[in-house]
Structure 1
Amino acid sequence: MGESIEEPKKLKSPLRNSKLLWLSGIAFTFFIALLGLGLSEISGFNRIGPLACSIIIAVIYRQIAGYPEKFRTGIEFSAKKLLRFAIILYGLRLNIDVIFNQGLPLLVRDIGTVTFAIVVMVLIAKWLKADTSISLLLAVGTGVCGAAAIAAISPIVKAKEEDTAIGVGIIALMGTLFSIIYTLIRPILPISNVDYGIWSGISLHEIAHVALAGAPAGEDALAIALLAKLGRVFLLIPLCFIFMYWMKKRTKDKTGRGAKIDFPWFLVGFIIMSLIGSYVFGTYITVSPAVMDGISKTTTFVLTMAMIGLGLNVSLQALRTKAMRPLIAMTMTSLLLSIISYFFV
């Protein structure tokens, strides 16, 4: 009679839980990206940049604490969706109009760089019996524009996330090493500052590496270096379509028809953003340098968040067994590229 009846406890909605864990996974990559960004501000680590620093943190976390399974959906969202979003934003860095008006002679050299890097890297990797997937990603990264090129090509060639992370880490570290060497030997090279800038732009790995090596030679050298580098970024567009065609031919089914290759729609976004940055901004819409700098930093940070998801899939055992030979092959390719391109400046 006087007994109170307890109300049944309300069960938490599974949908609400899944959304919360999804958001927590994204927040997890955001937090580690902040740590990577902070680490990259420290002397020494500032040479390798936030992407490599974040991957290092993610790999160390994986070895100590394991993969955070409950956050997997959010982490995979960062590794896949945010990665493609970052590539789309990256298109704003490519001013197609400048390339067509000022950089066509450099574009010919850029085509030579991309072709040489991919062909030579693949041949050396085959000779060394290096991991095919990582070697191909490094070949594209060396020839085109480092981590961004690896991130763009990776889904097309269906590379594993672990291989993509290893490739990005290697390209960041080796590119930094080469840019420092360029800076050290610049004073003793018998070439003008402008020619040095061209050499840096057609041979170094990422835009950040080109800027690092080109800046000490002066504003004119840096400007021509970045122009040469932008030509290689532009070549990422046709290269992606070439790899799509190659993958379709390579993965034929039993009927003899090419297997279905998912179209990289993010590449369309990359092209659209390139066109906006080239023909809309500055012509129809005035965008301040501060805003463009903010977009550039946002792009880098979003790409860094994506790298966390990739880095968490790396095991040190795989790093030891899979990465060494591709690293050797890339070092040899980069050395040959630097030496040969120097004589074509």
Structure 2
Amino acid sequence: MEAPSMRVQSERRQVPKREGKERGIAKGIAFTLMIAAVAGLIARLPFFEIMGIMILSILIGMVWKNTAGVKLDYQPGIQFSSKVLLRAGIILLGFRLNLLDIAAAGYAVLLTDALVIAFTMSFILLLGKVFRLNKYLTVLIAAGTAICGAAAILAVAPIMRGKQEYTAIAVSCIAILGTVGALMYIFLFPHLPITKHEYGILTGATLHELAHVVAAAVPGGAESSESAVLVKLGRVLLLIPVALLISMLVNRKELAEKGLKSLPIPWFIFGFLLASFVNTLAPIPEQVIAVLLLLSTYLLAMGMAGLGLNVNYRDFSKEGIKPVAVAVIGFAGLLALSPLILLIFRLL
């Protein structure tokens, strides 16, 4: 039997360890918050606003990791940001969706978004096989291109059970490509033989991030912006069934052997859906929604910073040019779908 004095000494030793761990978690979280805050300030600048706070956060985290390094005791807090806070941010992102607005737009929006996602996912998965790219990385690039950029990648990544490096590589590819795409749309807008409404539809259906869509739609005014955001939010809504489908396909062997219990279901996606239902059915003041979306943005940015702080540049060199090639060709294939997208809206 352990003596009382020994038990007291053991408890005294454990208390400083717990306090030290808690301080480490707090420091790591505070560090990712600092990076997100800096990214938020940079994102206000004219060019960088197209990239957005989330993309800038992961890039700053990666640069910091590979130049100054990260203290070991910060790691628990960084991991907390890149997992827990990131998923909380995705849940709050659901408050951006009003399902009645999407329903009021008719079948054209959902039909277009379903076509975009089905074609882009299939095309990029095929490209991944042609280029012999890692299948986990291929799926992440496909989700980011087809659905909603970094948010889709972050939602799908836990299902894939792949390395965090793959998530960072996919996010970086999508970030750069989406920024280039937004600038391209802004430059081409005056020369395109389409209406402002149709221009908004194309930006919403083909660009990666919501920030890219919003920035690219500005030259077309309010008419373009409204149609662009509506089509883009339809793609965001389809993140839920796509994530579940990916989970079933990627883990089909385990599903066949062990049943549904073995299936890694992204439960936070249902939180995202619940938030969208609440926003649709409950009379929430716009000011409250604005605060929740701002909180979502910073939680996601902190999560992205955490991902960046876990990435080494050598992880990028291992994959070479293949991820970039798959992302670029996949985006080009999506752009080639533009005439069909416009035809659907003209007919419906």
Question: Could you tell me the TM-score, scaled by structure 2's length?
Answer: 0.89
Report the residue type matching 1:274 in the other structure. S
1:176 equivalent to 2:179? Answer yes
Contact 1:199–1:342 (8 Å) recurs in 2: no
Output the CA distance in 2 between the equivalents of 1:311 and 1:260: 30
Q: Paired residue for 1:332?
A: 329
| Structure 2, unpaired ranges of 5+ | 1-8, 343-348
Q: Following superposition of structure 1 onto structure 2, how do residues 236-255 of structure 1 map, counting pairs within 5 Å? A: 236-251=239-254
Are residue 273 (structure 1) and residue 275 (structure 2) matched? yes
Equivalent position of 1:3 in the other structure: none
2-structure distance, mates of 1:52, 1:140 = 16
Q: Which amino acid aligns with 2:335?
A: S
Contact 1:96–1:274 under 8 Å retained in 2: yes
Query: Percent identity over the alignment?
Result: 33
Q: Tell me the CA shift for residue 44 of structure 1.
A: 3.1
Report the count of equivalent residues: 331
Please show how residues 101-140 of structure 1 align to structure 2 within 5 Å.
101-140=104-143
Instruction: Tell me if structure 2 keeps the 8 A contact 1:134–1:323.
Output: no
Please tell me whether the aligned partners of residues 210 and 226 of structure 1 are also in contact (alpha carbons under 8 angstroms).
yes
Q: Which residue of 1 aligns with 2:229?
A: 226
- The answer on whether the counterparts of 2:120 and 2:142 sit within 8 Å (CA) in structure 1 is yes
TM-score normalized by the length of structure 1: 0.90
Please list, as runs of the form range in 1=range in 2, the aligned pairs for 1:254-333 lying within 5 A after superposition.
260-281=262-283, 285=284, 287-288=285-286, 290-322=287-319, 324-333=321-330
Please state which structure has a larger fraction of its residues in helix.
2
Contact 2:146 2:208 in 1 (8 A): yes
RMSD of aligned C-alpha atoms? 2.0
Q: 2:78 aligns with which of 75, 79, 82?
A: 75
AA at the equivalent of 1:267: I
Taking the aligned partners of 1:267 and 1:319, their CA distance within structure 2 comes to 29
Whether the 8 Å CA contact 1:113–1:202 is kept in 2: the answer is yes
Question: Paired residue for 1:4?
Answer: none
Q: Which residue of 2 aligns with 1:5?
A: none
- The answer to whether the 8 Å contact 1:198/1:221 transfers is yes
Q: Does 1:201 align with 2:204?
A: yes
Query: 1:214 matched to which residue of 2?
Result: 217
> What does residue range 23-172 of structure 1 map to in structure 2 within 5 Å?
23-172=26-175
For residues 20 and 330 of structure 1, the distance between their equivalents in structure 2, rounded to whole angstroms, comes to: 40
Cα deviation, residue 256, structure 1: 7.0
Q: Report runs of 4+ in structure 1 exceeding 4 Å deviation.
A: 255-259
Which piece of structure 1 moves more, 165-174 or 86-95? Answer: 165-174
Answer yes or no: is the 8 Å Cα contact 2:150–2:209 preserved in 1. Answer: yes
Distance 2:320 2:145 in 1: 15
What stretches of structure 1 of length at least 5 have no aligned partner?
A: 1-7
